[in-house]
Amino acid sequence: MNNVIALREVSKTYGKGDGAVRALSDISLHVDEGEFIAILGASGSGKSTLMNIVGLMDTADSGQYLLDGQDIMKSHDASLTRLRGRKIGFIFQKYNLIAKYSVLYNVALPLLLAGKSYGQAKQDAAATLERVGLGDKLKRKPAELSGGQAQRVAIARALVTNPTLLLADEPTGALDKKTGEDVLGFMQELHSGAGKTIIMITHDQHVASKAQRIVQLEDGRITGDH
């Protein structure tokens, strides 16, 4: 089984001197292809920092990070931007959909940014929306959707580039309990049926229990992995 993610003694500190805050301390973590992992921790545990580093939105101060075998610590900003667009699909708590655009265009946008033609991007986006059960909502605007539908659009946008890794940040945080369970069920289907590698960030033990493996963070350190 290939490592999609390999972190070795990764540390991150914000600020300097007396005001310095150690966000992560010597984090070592391996995520295999096809795993569904929950990163569980309370506010201030370091899970958001870890997510930002794994998602190539921040860089570690020390240690090693391999993404699909590539040494991220030796990559330049432009290279990281390309890698992020190609290898990582993001699912956010508040969806981060663009209100003025249709559902179809929201999902097509990552493909357009990657250089695909408008026609091909629309075709791929429509097929991905069909896959998440929203093939009849292509012309709707985000404000016309329920919370669960909006999160499925966000999932479709994350899937449309066929990324190596899906990174979900509190994906049920803005949803009611029933809708949240539906979204979690769909993510489990992506894992078991499509073999997607998923890292889900959460503070909720119940949400974490839906994953195959739980990695617990506390004060910037891994305190459990089971």
Residue 140: predicted pLDDT = 97
Residue 1: predicted pLDDT = 63
CA distance 136 to 51: 33
Centroid of chain to Cα 103 = 20
The pLDDT > 70 percentage for the chain reads 100
The amino acid occupying position 132 is: V
Token pair belonging to 184: 């979690």
CA distance 46 to 220: 5
Cβ within 8 Å of residue 205, ≥6 positions away:
40
Average pLDDT over residues 102-108: 97
Q: pLDDT tens, 122-164?
A: 999 999 999 999 999 999 999 999 999 999 999 999 999 999 9
What is the chain's alpha carbon radius of gyration, rounded to the nearest angstrom?
Answer: 18
Average pLDDT over residues 196-225: 96
Q: Which of 37-41, 83-87, 92-96 has the highest mean pLDDT?
A: 37-41
Q: Lowest-pLDDT range, 102-106, 183-187, 221-225?
A: 183-187
Q: pLDDT tens, 41-75?
A: 999 999 999 999 999 999 999 999 999 999 998 88
pTM of the model: 0.92
For residue 93, the 8-state DSSP code is T
Mean pLDDT, rounded, of the chain: 93
Q: pLDDT tens, 164-185?
A: 999 999 999 889 999 999 999 9
